[in-house]
Structures are given as C-alpha cells and as structure tokens.
Amino acid sequence: MQQERLLKVLVIGDLGVGKTSIIKRYVHQVFSQHYRATIGVDFALKVLQWDQHTVVRLQLWDIAGQERYGNMTRVYYREAVGALVVFDMTRLSTFQAVLKWKGDLDSKVALSNGRPVPAVLLANKCDQRRLGLCPKLPKLEAFSQEYGFVGWFETSAKDNTNIDDAISCLMKSVMAVEEERAANGGARAEADGGVLVLPRFDYNMKEKRLGGCSGCDSAKPKERD
C-alpha cells in the first residue's frame, strides 16, 4: 500500500529573478520569456514516485517578489519545510537582497526543533554569463555556508541548468530532518493546515559542477506518470 505525502517548499527572492520560470521549468518542462509578475502567491504541484511505497506531492509556493515588504509572508510561509532563495546573476541588487529574504524566512517559519528550515541558494540566469552580463559576485560556496544555506547552484530556467538538481538537493536536506525526527519518535502530520511532511528515506545525489550541496551523491526520485 502506497503512502502519499505533501511537501511544501517556498520559492522566494526579489521581483523578476525568475522564480516563476524555475517552477514552470521544473513542473512542466517549459520556458517562456513572457511570464507576468506574480501577484501575492501562486503554487504548482509536482508528483514524484519517491520510492516503491511513497508518492510525494511536492507543492512549490511562488511568493511574489514584493511580498517581503508586506505582512502576508507569515501566512504564506506557514508549514513550509524548505525554501529556494533565488537571485538574478545579472542584477547585483537582487543578490544583496538574499540575506533579507533569508532573514524574513528564518523569522517566520522554523522546524519543530526550532532550527531554520533548509534553504538552497539559486544564482539564476547563469546563461547570461556568456553574454558578459553578470557582475562579479562573492564566492558562493563560502557565502552559502556562512549564512546557513544547505547548498547553492547556478541555474538557468531557460537552458534547464541545475533546476532538478537544486530541488533534489533541498529535498535531501529535508529527508535528513525527517530521519532525525523519526529517530526521536517518528514523523507526524502537522495538525494545523493538514500539511504532511515526508517519512524516512535514505536519499542522496551527485554534486554538480555549478553548485554545491553538502553530502549529495546518489540518484533522484522519479517523476510519476
């Protein structure tokens, strides 16, 4: 008998960094130059056959870039178990906003043990580097470690670069949290809101050339037909 689990992951970052494009690429394998700006919040669902016993319904919440300045993010962030923090490699101001988004996230949602939810940093639009449009950035490996990200990736929704691997890295960290939770008495459904977190699963993935994910060195779950 298969179990189904719902996993809520936030996708946050400044306006125009490509959050919607990343989600559309991951969920539907499409890309467009003409997505309209997200207003408030939107979400998409990706169904994965995690293992032979577990179906994961991965819910990706697309938070509008201007929402960090509003009061609704606390509601949007509620029950999330992970986050992708996105910036645009061609716009330095969006990188400078990363820590504000990370701070907003950490102040409004946490794991049951009080620790921050796992977050992966995405340096999006890396396809623009070959056009000479990307300003010089700090070393992202050191930056991500210093500020508590579980990994980082250079991504391109346009070229489909590292999108799957970045999300797989995040999921691997969520699994580690669930291993710890199970060891301390078992996973449980969150009572408020009906969001279920994933059960125990030993999951790893390969580290990618344009990104880093601590301890990632195996295969990915399969998308369910």
Average pLDDT over every residue of 29-44: 70
By C-alpha distance, which of 172, 67, 149, 116 is closest to 138?
149
Strands of 119-124's sheet in order across: 211-213, 151-155, 119-124, 82-88, 3-12, 54-63, 41-51, 222-223
If you average pLDDT over residues 160-173, what whole number do you get? 93
CATH topology for 3-184? Rossmann fold (3.40.50)
Residue, of 11 and 200, whose pLDDT is higher:
11
Burial of 65 from C-beta contacts in 10 A (0-12 / 13-18 / 19+)? buried
Cα(59)–Cα(5) distance, integer angstroms: 10
The residue ranking higher by pLDDT, 37 or 49, is 49
Structure-block tokens of residue 145: 């470690």
Residue-level pLDDT at 34: 57
Q: How far apart are CA 47 and CA 4, in angstroms?
A: 10
Name residues whose C-beta falls within 8 Å of residue 19's C-beta, 6 or more positions apart in sequence.
Answer: 11, 12, 13, 38, 62, 63, 65, 84, 86
Global pTM value: 0.79
- pLDDT surpassing 80 at residue 35: no
Average pLDDT over residues 89-101: 94
pLDDT of 84 strictly over 60: yes
Cβ neighbours of residue 63 closer than 8 Å, sequence gap 6 or more: 10, 11, 12, 19, 38, 41, 73, 76
Angle between helices 19-28 and 163-183 (to 10 degrees): 80
Per DSSP, what are the bridge partners of residue 120? 84, 151
- Please give the pLDDT value at position 200: 34
pLDDT band at 177 (very low <50, low <70, confident <90, very high): confident
d(CA 109, CA 119): 12
| pLDDT the model gives residue 192 | 38
> Does the pLDDT of residue 3 top 70, yes or no?
yes
Quick one: average pLDDT of 41-56? 80
pLDDT band at 39 (very low <50, low <70, confident <90, very high): low
Give me the residue spans of the domains in the chain: 3-184
**Would you place residue 161 in the very low, low, confident or very high pLDDT band (cuts 50, 70, 90)?**
very high
* Distance in angstroms (rounded) separating the CA atoms of residues 142 and 66: 28
Q: What is the rounded (10 degree) CA torsion for 148, 213, 204, 79? A: 40
